């Protein structure tokens, strides 16, 4: 977990957040043990901005990985920011309710959740009885 937290903080340093001045880094650990990171990337046309978690999910999928075991989100707020609603849904596409979501900040504060606590009854088109 220490390694994953360091990876999220490293990614946070590369955040492009000139408008919000709220840099966020995310690090995903997959079931196979690989780590993928992302930082928020904002845009002059504000709604085109992307959250760190979604960039990390994109990197994971691009690398051929599909199963999220844990994700760390690093921000500067206190308490540490938890993933936004949209990111919870994006994470839920590739993570079960038991996936660990660890939120940290630059003051050493840490909050731990299960994805199922953050997004109960996630929307899914995938039936557990099918593939």
Q: How far is the CB of 4 from ligand THU (least distance, A)?
A: 16
- Per CB under 6 A, 59 contacts ligand THU: no
- Per CB under 6 A, 83 contacts ligand THU: yes
| Alpha-carbon distances, residue 87 vs 90, 108, 122 (angstroms) | 5, 23, 12
The string of DSSP codes covering the chain is -HHHHHHHHHHHTT-B-TTT----EEEEEETTS-EEEEE-B--SSGGG-B-HHHHHHHHHHHTT---EEEEEEEESSSSPPPPPHHHHHHHHTT--TT-EEEEEETTS-EEEEEHHHHSTT---SS-TT--
Identify which of residues 31 and 50 has a Cβ nearer to ligand THU in the complex. 50
Q: Which of 28, 71, 87, 91 binds ligand THU (CB under 6 A)?
A: 87
Q: Which of 81, 92, 95, 118 binds ligand THU (CB under 6 A)?
A: 81
Identify which of residues 29 and 40 has a Cβ nearer to ligand THU in the complex. 40
Of 27-35, 48-56, 58-66, 98-106, the segment contacting ligand THU by CB under 6 A is 48-56
Q: Which residues bind ligand THU (CB under 6 A)?
A: 17, 20, 22, 24, 40, 42, 49, 51-53, 81, 83-84, 87
């Amino acid at each position: 977990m220490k390694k994953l937290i360091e990876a999220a903080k490293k990614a946070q340093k590369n955040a492009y957040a000139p408008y919000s001045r709220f840099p966020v880094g995310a690090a995903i650990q997959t079931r196979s043990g690989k780590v993928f990171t992302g930082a928020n990337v904002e845009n002059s046309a504000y709604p085109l901005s992307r959250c760190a978690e979604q960039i990390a999910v994109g990197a994971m999928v691009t690398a051929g990985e599909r199963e999220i075991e844990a994700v760390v989100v690093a921000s500067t707020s206190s308490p540490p920011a938890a993933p936004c609603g949209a990111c919870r849904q994006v994470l839920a596409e590739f993570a079960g309710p038991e996936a660990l979501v660890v939120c940290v900040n630059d003051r050493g504060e840490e909050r731990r959740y299960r994805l199922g606590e953050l997004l109960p009854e996630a929307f899914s088109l995938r039936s557990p009885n099918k593939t």
